[in-house]
Amino acid sequence: MSGPTIQFAPEDDVPIRYMDRTREYYQALGFAPYRWAHFTDAPFTPLAVPLARARVALITTAAPFQPEAGDQGPRAPYNASAKFYQVYSMPADSKPDLRISHVGYDRANTVPEDLNAYVPLERLQEAGAAGRIGGLTPRFHGAPTNRSHRVTVETDAPELLRRCRQDGADAVVLVPS
């Protein structure tokens, strides 16, 4: 007696284990292992107003284009000169030129030619126009991809929170690139 054949997905079609992969990579290169941020709990605040009335802030790790900082094009190799080390803010109703040559995105599989794939600003603007959200806060913000946990936790994160509160944000969408 045979039933229907069950077709499971291939065993390797699982979330990439980025931490293992990165550890192995840097170990092979002879570098000390990186320690990723790790907490066993996370804060949680339910949305206090209906989304259609909520002001939503956007935080990105993408960097404003810096003409003097070398190749930041879609096929640029990792470009540390294009990094930034201070929180920045720009008008949320703009079309900013934001790049990601300064971070370790997947250069083997993707070419970042469309800003909207890593910064959902235009989609959020549309959600505001459609009334799906109350609107964006006046500014969106850039979070430095600093290798120092201390600077991220003690300097950059509090500054981002301060700016979001100053802008009256009810919710924040964080998008690492």
Main-chain dihedrals φ then ψ at residue 59, nearest 5 degrees: -120, 130
Distance CA 93, CA 60 (A): 15
Burial (CB < 10 A; 0-12, 13-18, 19+), residue 88, is middle
**CA dihedral defined by 13, 27, 69, 144, rounded to 10 degrees?**
70
Q: Is residue 5 near other proteins by the rule CB under 8 A? A: no
Of positions 93, 110, 129, 154, contacts other proteins by CB under 8 A: 110
Q: Is residue 94 near other proteins by the rule CB under 8 A? A: no
Q: Is residue 41 near other proteins by the rule CB under 8 A? A: yes
Nearer to other proteins (CB atom), residue 3 or residue 65: 65
139, 92 contact by CB (below 8 A):
yes
Of positions 75, 85, 129, 153, contacts other proteins by CB under 8 A: 85
Of positions 126, 131, 165, 168, contacts other proteins by CB under 8 A: 126
Q: Is residue 88 near other proteins by the rule CB under 8 A? A: no
Of positions 1, 29, 32, 48, contacts other proteins by CB under 8 A: 29
